């Protein structure tokens, strides 16, 4: 179940430090490692020694970059969602102006899936551990999750208003069912069983048919 690590985007926010110094790169290496271990072992199962090993340094070095284990985890979880939201926002911005509500939903499906399956670790860490966080970390995560959900809610609201969503589906429930459809892919997808393109195509076809009124 070991996954790829790469974290190309990783909203490099930090606190005003330059981004290309050796220091910054080490910080990212630690975050990547943490995402990988967190995704595989879960909140309580992630050990700093494991993270250190993946990041190729000694555990105490982590404290040079993060005040505590929980702070590191909080950052990973937050980046996972924030990155995803940024991705989706951008994707919707560049969508053709004449795209209908359903087409915008399908764009969101593709964006979410590609991000989830390609960038991966951060997102799967965020998804899998959302329910297991202690209260102190949960707050920032929940806030970010709400923002991401709001993007989707707007898409469904629009579809309901333009009649592109079947009447016998509750918009809220439909949204949750779609998010389940795509979130779950991270649990079963493996590169050797089907290409990402195939998964995206099938998921889009599936969602469009599930939501659209009979023509």
Name the DSSP letter for residue 13: -
Q: At what angle do helices 171-183 and 196-211 cross, to 10 degrees?
A: 160
Of 4, 14, 21, 118, the one binding DNA by CB under 7 A:
21
Scan residues 61-120 and list those touching DNA (CB under 7 A). 61, 63-64, 68-70
Counting contacts by CB under 8 A, is residue 205 touching a copy of itself? yes
Residue 96 binds to a copy of itself (criterion: CB under 8 A):
no
Q: Are 92 and 158 in contact (CB under 8 A)?
A: no
Token code pair at residue 8: 């190309």
- DSSP-derived letter for residue 145 is H
Is residue 104 a contact partner of residue 158, using CB atoms and an 8 Å limit?
yes
Q: Does 205 bind DNA (CB under 7 A)?
A: no
Of 176, 202, 199, 38, give the one whose Cα is nearest residue 120.
38
Q: Which of 14, 58, 89, 132 binds DNA (CB under 7 A)?
A: 58
- Is 38 among the residues that bind DNA (CB under 7 A)? no
Residue of the chain from 27, 85, 112, 128 that contacts a copy of itself (CB under 8 A): 128
List interacting residues with DNA (CB under 7 A): 21-23, 26, 46-49, 57-61, 63-64, 68-70
């Amino acid at each position: 179940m070991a996954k790829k690590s790469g974290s190309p985007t990783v909203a490099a926010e930090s606190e005003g430090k330059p981004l290309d110094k050796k220091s910054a790169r080490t910080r990212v290496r630690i975050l990547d490692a943490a995402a990988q271990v967190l995704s595989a072992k879960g909140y309580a199962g992630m050990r700093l020694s494991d993270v250190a090993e993946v990041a190729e340094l000694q555990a105490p070095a982590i404290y040079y970059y993060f005040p505590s284990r929980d702070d590191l985890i909080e950052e990973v979880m937050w980046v996972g969602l924030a990155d995803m939201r940024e991705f989706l926002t951008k994707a919707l911005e560049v969508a053709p102006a004449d795209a209908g509500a359903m087409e915008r939903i399908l764009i969101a499906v593709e964006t979410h899936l590609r991000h989830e399956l390609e960038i991966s670790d951060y997102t799967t860490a965020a998804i899998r551990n959302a329910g297991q966080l202690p209260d102190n970390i949960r707050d920032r995560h929940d806030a970010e999750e709400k923002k991401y959900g709001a993007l989707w809610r707007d898409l469904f609201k629009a579809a309901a208003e333009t009649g592109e969503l079947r009447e016998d589906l509750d918009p809220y429930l439909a949204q949750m069912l779609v998010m389940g459809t795509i979130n779950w892919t991270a649990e079963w997808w493996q590169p050797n069983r089907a290409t990402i393109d195939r998964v995206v195509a099938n998921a889009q076809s599936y969602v469009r048919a599930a939501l659209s009124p009979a023509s």
